[in-house]
Amino acid sequence: MSEDFRIEQMSEAECWEVLDQERFGRLAVAVGGDPDIFPINFLVDDGKLLMRTAAGTKLTELVINSAVAVEADGQDQTEAWSVVLKGNARMVDSLSETYADDEKRLETWLPSEKPIYVEITPRQLTGRRFYRNSGA
């Protein structure tokens, strides 16, 4: 196995740049010591993440325990990256004009009805970049 690789920690600004470009990630929740992971679509809005959902397990679990983690990753020809945001989730009580008029349009991967908006406020944000074949 080649040892021609490098791992770099990302700055908080770099983490936000990655999150602002990505639209798909995973939401981790835990209730009663039993963790769950759900695929989500999200967008960055003023230093927070915004996602949409419907009534169900995901919403029930984040209402019971608002402490969540979101992970987003990706890759291209030269590198891979992974960003983890730990924070607190809350249902948005009313759809603000900011969200209603947002040019980013928070769309879901599946065209199912997801009328409930959830906002995740970060407590911790970390990220890493992975480079392979980075040597001469």
Q: Is residue 123 part of a domain?
A: yes
Q: Is residue 136 part of a domain?
A: no
Q: Is residue 1 part of a domain?
A: no
Structural domain span for residue 23? 6-129
In this predicted model, which residue has the larger pLDDT, 82 or 62? 82
132 and 63 Cβ atoms separated by less than 8 Å = no
Mean pLDDT across the chain = 85
119 and 89 Cβ atoms separated by less than 8 Å = yes
Exposure string over 48-67, b if 16+ CB within 10 A, otherwise e: bbbbbbeeeebbebbeeebe
- Write down the pLDDT at residue 112: 67
- CATH code of 80's domain: 2.30.110.10
In this predicted model, which residue has the larger pLDDT, 1 or 99? 99
Q: Is residue 58 part of a domain?
A: yes
Q: Is residue 135 part of a domain?
A: no
Cα gap 5→84, rounded to integer Å: 21
Q: Is 16 helix (H, G, I), strand (E, B) or coil?
A: helix
What are the tens digits of pLDDT across the range 10-28?
999 999 999 999 989 999 9
Confidence of residue 40 (pLDDT cuts 50, 70, 90): very high
Query: Among 1-15, 65-79, 88-102, 115-129, whose mean pLDDT is lowest?
Result: 88-102
- Beta strands 67-75 and 34-45, pairing class: unpaired
101 pLDDT above the threshold of 50: no
Please name which of 40, 44, 52 lies closest in space to residue 95, comparing C-alpha atoms.
52
Q: What is the pTM of this model?
A: 0.83
123 pLDDT above the threshold of 70: yes
Confidence of residue 98 (pLDDT cuts 50, 70, 90): very low
Confidence of residue 5 (pLDDT cuts 50, 70, 90): confident
Region 47-71: what's the mean pLDDT?
A: 91
Q: How many domains does the chain have?
A: 1
- Write down the pLDDT at residue 115: 72
